[in-house]
Structure 1
Amino acid sequence: MEKQGRIRSRGIEVNTMIILDASGFNKEPHDLIDDRLAFIEAVRSASIAPVNGIAPTKKMCAAIFQIMKDEGSLELIMASYQLLTELDKHFPRVYASIVEKSESPSPGSVLELVVVEEAWSPFIFGSDCEREDDNRNSGSLDFSGFEILIQDLAKVAVGRKIEEFETKYLRSMVLLQYIFSVLQGDFLPRNSVFKENMDWNLLTVSLLNILLGSRRISYKDLIKGCLSIICEMSHLHAELSDDMTLPKSSAAELFKSCDTDLAISFPEVRKCVFTALQKFLLMAMELDASRKKADTLGLTTRADGVRTPVVEIIQDELTYNGDAISPFFQVFNEPKWKMEIIVQYFQKYIAKPSVRTRRTSEPIDDATFDGVLKCFSNINSVKSITKKISIEVAQLLLAHGFQAYLSLSFQHSAEGNYKSKEDVKDNSMAEVCKNIISAFMNLRRIDEHVEILPFGKEALFTAATILSTKS
């Protein structure tokens, strides 16, 4: 049966690839576009439409990816992206499967990882020559190409050169979005199974771990590039509408010289890439957390190397670029990691005990948001902290930290099983609300002329409202 499936798949490959091979060099551009659209539809009809569709071959997938990577037609870019995304859902390369273990001492179901070794991947590995040939002649991308893609988008985002918006820019955004979805589809099931059986090897061979550990990329520059794009793109939230109509603000002027279809597509594509970038950072943070767990259990080796945690890189970037704090936390809305970044940021500026004993090897109180707030309840501690960071930055971090705390608290209440470093169930909500108000009041005591930022006022209003309902 498996052999028959391979024969049938090979037959489909021959029939569909003929469409591309017949394109010729003398055809008009619109005829070439029609040929490629016909090829994409043929693959969809053979693999997606039937109930028992056959997975396309590597050659067919590579051809679809090549179309998305190199074509200048918006219709082809979006059609190839949609088809590849659907194929990944129908024929996953990696997935977790529940298996019944009746022969084990304690029968029951366990989670096992299934990897389709023969499946196509947009990433390539090999020697320099092989990489050059594959990048030039087939639909593939090496890790250095991925880094260049991030860097190019970062330059455009920082330069705010939307007036130069063209198909090439949108194609890069769509390509980046697809690459992130591939990394996510490979990492999430591996991480789920790792959490159950603590097999670190499952994650060492993940695309994400290989990418971040590759010597062919600058790992820190890659993360900084993602952070830069997120911060710069956040400025466009107020300028670009999220619907499929042209924005009415001054940003609409930037699209006057653009193709209408491109201008209409941009807000939605930008929104999706914006989300994908955050998911990428979150995956990297989860990988760091799993690696830390593996280190604790003695599962890692020297071959795993040393890598600075993503949270530390982000925290350092925010430390040296205070202007990025507000835009970053406005859009980075995962409460667990938002809290982690904010607590670590404050820990750099909170005075530590000069004498350490054996007991101090345990987690110290300021390693949680509740501990940070207690430090802000002491006027001398507040003076010490604000000598190193501005009162405006302290306000932003306290307000966003309170927002993350509330999200974690509500999440814990809804699910009943949430666990994290910030153990919200052991903290009194009323006490935290009192401490957040006290922290802002102490900031005012240091400088009576300081103005409470709008987001800080929202935090104070929320805290006061919660306290009034509990009194």
Structure 2
Amino acid sequence: MVNPRRRTASNRGMEDNTMAILDVLGANDSPHLNNDRIAFLEAIRFASIFPEDGTPPTNKMWEAIFQILKEGKSLELIMSSYQLLCELEKRFPRVYLCNIVKSNSSPINPTELVVIEEAWSPFDLSLDAASSAEVANRNSNRPLDSSGFHILLEGLAKVAGDAELQLKLFRDMLLFQFLVIVIERDFLPRNSAFLETTEWTLLRESLLNVLLGSRRINYKAFIKDCLSILSRSCATYAVHSHETRNAESNSVNMHENGSVALALALPEVHCCTRRAAQNLLVLMMELDSSRKKADMQGLTTRADGVRTPALAIVLDEFTYNKDMLCPFFQVFDEPKLKLDIILKYFGKYIAKPSVRTRRSNGISTTDDITITGVLKSISNSISARNITKRMSAEVVQLLIAHAFQACILLPHQSLLDATAESNEDVRSNPLLEICNNIISSFSSLREVDKNMEILPLGQEALFTAATILSAMS
């Protein structure tokens, strides 16, 4: 790992020119200035990325690249700065795990979390302690604070129909994607270290935990904005891009920023933004899971505060906005969490049998509902009638089909955990039992409502279940 404090004569020279780049970024763009910025980005790439012993940029150089991404007004500058930031983030991580060298007698080499405190970051979450006036007076070129990140997320949750705002939307989406990468690369090694050492401080100091605990963001609105981005179809942006191309094709003088290329790229970049929103939501749920373990072991304190789990907010949103279910599950493809969300959603509408309860450190938990329990409940015509009255047959079909998709993708042990079956025959092949229950569930739904139309997704689930049963018989 290269020491981020190393400096060479070449990057010292580039740092001397960085202030000039920063000074003119707010000025009106011109081909000459844009060429200078492109040359600046390429010089950093050749100094830091290409050589095997390349050295990291100085903090001022990082700041200049980040500012180009935030304020760039040409497609080439925005894309070049985004790609360079992602490459540098991968090449020079701020947080990483390092194996500890032990004696030959030790069968396992433990890992140590390395945090480079002096490394530049696109976030400055220390502003929570500052007054509103101090925050307002901060230089706009400085890293983002928690409220700035939430404002960025809010903007992406809205569709920008104005063609003149498409470049800003494109730039903001790439900025959001980069920031999620930074959060992810900070959180994952910390979480791995926590699971190994149970040292809660490692996660308490993570960017994600500090961000979500900020008083400057509305936590529930933050999660709802993530859901809005996830649930919005890429076709929405394709329509706006088509309108933009039509408007521009009728214009005699086309803007020099490559507006046709922008219109073509916008839907794909939005799909990547949805992926970033999913990653952020998954990270929040993983943080909640680790925090729950820390709570049960008495590792947290009053200073950690109380926060509603992200999954609970997601379930509440689905309860009051069922139209969001279909687009969300079409996109959300992390199988374990996907199945967990569906089962907990069913749990709000299915009568639960008595379950075991345990208490640890004053916190009580109950066993989660299983996929086997859900499908067997729906296979009962009386229970199916009650469920469809509360959820509608279409929603039940949708959730069954997506739960089945998740089960197919889960590894064997995770599938066993999701079924919680004790029967040895079922444990040897839980997917076989799930396929039988899928067919029984749809048969029960048809028995309850003989006029019910099976959705295409339901037909696909039935066909897949029958095919698996046929292959395994």
The TM-score with structure 2 as length reference comes to: 0.87
Candidates 457, 460, 471, aligned match of 1:458: 460
Call closer, same or farther: CA 1:399–1:25 in 2, change over 3 Å: closer
Cα deviation code 1:306-332 (max 9, x no counterpart)? 111111111111111111111110110
Using the TM superposition, name which of 33-42 and 317-326 deviates more. Answer: 33-42
2:113 corresponds to: 113
Cα deviation code 1:398-439 (max 9, x no counterpart)? 11111111111xx33xxx788855558836322211111111
Residues 171-186 of structure 1 correspond to what in structure 2 (within 5 A)? 171-186=171-186
Q: Is the 8 A contact 2:407 2:415 kept in 1?
A: no
Segments of 5+ residues of structure 1 without an aligned counterpart are: 241-248
Q: How far apart, in 1, do the equivalents of 2:161 and 2:463 lie? A: 39
User: Per-residue deviation at 1:130?
Assistant: 4.7
User: Per-residue deviation at 1:25?
Assistant: 9.7
Letter in 1 for 2:247: S
Q: Is the 8 A contact 1:235 1:327 kept in 2?
A: no
Q: Is the 8 A contact 1:434 1:463 kept in 2?
A: yes
Residues 22-41 of structure 1 correspond to what in structure 2 (within 5 A)? 29-41=30-42
Q: How far apart, in 1, do the equivalents of 2:273 and 2:26 lie? A: 35
1:266 corresponds to: 266
Call closer, same or farther: CA 1:2–1:327 in 2, change over 3 Å: closer
Candidates 213, 232, 247, aligned match of 1:257: 247
Letter in 1 for 2:318: L
User: Per-residue deviation at 1:109?
Assistant: 0.8
Q: Is the 8 A contact 2:357 2:366 kept in 1?
A: no
Cα deviation code 1:222-252 (max 9, x no counterpart)? 110010111113554xx85xxxxxxxx8963
2:230 corresponds to: 230
1:93 corresponds to: 94
Q: How far apart, in 2, do the equivalents of 1:24 and 1:381 lie? A: 64
Letter in 1 for 2:394: E
Q: How many residues align?
A: 449
Cα deviation code 1:158-203 (max 9, x no counterpart)? xx72756521111111111111111011011111111111111100
2:334 corresponds to: 334
Q: Is the 8 A contact 1:64 1:80 kept in 2?
A: yes
Call closer, same or farther: CA 1:374–1:21 in 2, change over 3 Å: closer
1:406 corresponds to: 408
Q: How far apart, in 2, do the equivalents of 1:235 and 1:6 lie? A: 47
| Partner secondary structure for residue 53 of structure 1 | coil
2:252 corresponds to: none
Letter in 1 for 2:201: N
Call closer, same or farther: CA 1:337–1:443 in 2, change over 3 Å: same
Q: How far apart, in 2, do the equivalents of 1:469 and 1:24 lie? A: 63
**Is residue 141 of structure 1 aligned with residue 172 of structure 2?**
no
Aligned alpha-carbon RMSD (Å): 3.0
Q: How far apart, in 1, do the equivalents of 2:157 and 2:358 lie? A: 46
Q: Is the 8 A contact 2:15 2:58 kept in 1?
A: no
Call closer, same or farther: CA 1:107–1:369 in 2, change over 3 Å: closer
Letter in 2 for 1:379: S
Q: Is the 8 A contact 2:8 2:55 kept in 1?
A: no
Cα deviation code 1:432-453 (max 9, x no counterpart)? 1111111111111111111111
Letter in 2 for 1:86: E
| Partner secondary structure for residue 367 of structure 1 | coil
Letter in 1 for 2:32: D
**Is residue 392 of structure 1 aligned with residue 394 of structure 2?**
yes
Q: How far apart, in 1, do the equivalents of 2:77 and 2:358 lie? A: 63
User: Per-residue deviation at 1:12?
Assistant: 3.5
User: Per-residue deviation at 1:101?
Assistant: 3.0
Letter in 1 for 2:83: Q
Q: How far apart, in 2, do the equivalents of 1:3 and 1:378 lie? A: 63
Call closer, same or farther: CA 1:77–1:422 in 2, change over 3 Å: farther
Q: How far apart, in 2, do the equivalents of 1:419 and 1:62 lie? A: 49
1:20 corresponds to: 21
Call closer, same or farther: CA 1:57–1:275 in 2, change over 3 Å: same
Candidates 424, 429, 432, aligned match of 2:431: 429
Q: How far apart, in 2, do the equivalents of 1:209 and 1:3 lie? A: 25
Letter in 2 for 1:39: F
Q: How far apart, in 1, do the equivalents of 2:420 and 2:288 lie? A: 20
Cα deviation code 1:135-161 (max 9, x no counterpart)? 42x2411110111111111122xxx72
Q: How far apart, in 1, do the equivalents of 2:325 and 2:120 lie? A: 40
Q: Is the 8 A contact 1:98 1:112 kept in 2?
A: yes
1:152 corresponds to: 155
1:70 corresponds to: 71
Call closer, same or farther: CA 1:117–1:379 in 2, change over 3 Å: same
Segments of 5+ residues of structure 2 without an aligned counterpart are: 249-258
| Partner secondary structure for residue 180 of structure 1 | helix
**Is residue 447 of structure 1 aligned with residue 437 of structure 2?**
no
Letter in 2 for 1:265: A
Q: Is the 8 A contact 2:97 2:113 kept in 1?
A: yes
Letter in 1 for 2:226: C
Letter in 1 for 2:395: V
Q: How far apart, in 2, do the equivalents of 1:3 and 1:444 lie? A: 64
User: Per-residue deviation at 1:51?
Assistant: 2.3
The TM-score with structure 1 as length reference comes to: 0.87
Runs of 4+ displaced beyond 4 Å: 1-4, 6-10, 21-28, 162-165, 355-364, 416-425
Letter in 2 for 1:453: L
Letter in 1 for 2:292: K
User: Per-residue deviation at 1:27?
Assistant: 8.6
Q: How far apart, in 2, do the equivalents of 1:219 and 1:166 lie? A: 27
Letter in 2 for 1:80: S
| Partner secondary structure for residue 155 of structure 1 | coil
Candidates 361, 368, 371, aligned match of 1:369: 371
User: Per-residue deviation at 1:134?
Assistant: 3.8
Call closer, same or farther: CA 1:325–1:3 in 2, change over 3 Å: closer
1:246 corresponds to: none
1:312 corresponds to: 312
Call closer, same or farther: CA 1:437–1:267 in 2, change over 3 Å: same
Q: How far apart, in 1, do the equivalents of 2:28 and 2:108 lie? A: 61
User: Per-residue deviation at 1:387?
Assistant: 2.0
